[in-house]
Amino acid sequence: MHVVVGLVILVFALHVLFVVLQANHGNGFVHGIYVTAKALVLGLGDVFTPDDAVLGVVMNYALAALIYAIVGHLIVRALRRR
């Protein structure tokens, strides 16, 4: 489970990095990360709507990564208690 959560957080981090660095969306890898991140963000992609769109991406995907980390940790703890 830690591996899955880690991979999701990695996808979010790469997406944020690509947005900040203005990576080429025509690149297959960049596009794949973008699509995967959009699918995994589960509605948290527009919680914060600052005037700066890049800041919004950073804040929203950081929030999503934090929630995934917390929920993943709680699931792992619950499974280990069984």
The residue ranges of DSSP E strands in 1-82, in sequence order, are: none
Looking at residue 74, its pLDDT comes to: 94
Q: Say what the pLDDT of residue 54 is.
A: 95
DSSP label of 45: G
**Domain assignment of residue 7, given as a range:** 2-81
Q: Which amino acid would we find at residue 44?
A: L
Question: Can you give the pLDDT of all 82 residues of the chain as single tens digits?
Answer: 789 999 999 999 999 999 999 999 999 999 999 999 999 999 888 999 999 999 999 999 999 999 999 999 999 999 998 7
Query: In Å, what is the CA distance from 60 to each residue of 46, 51, 52, 54, 56?
Result: 6, 13, 12, 10, 6
How many structural domains are present in the chain?
A: 1
Predicted local distance difference test score (pLDDT) of residue 9: 96
Neighbour tally for 77: CB within 10 Å: 9
Q: Which of 31, 41, 30 is nearest to 8 (CA)?
A: 41
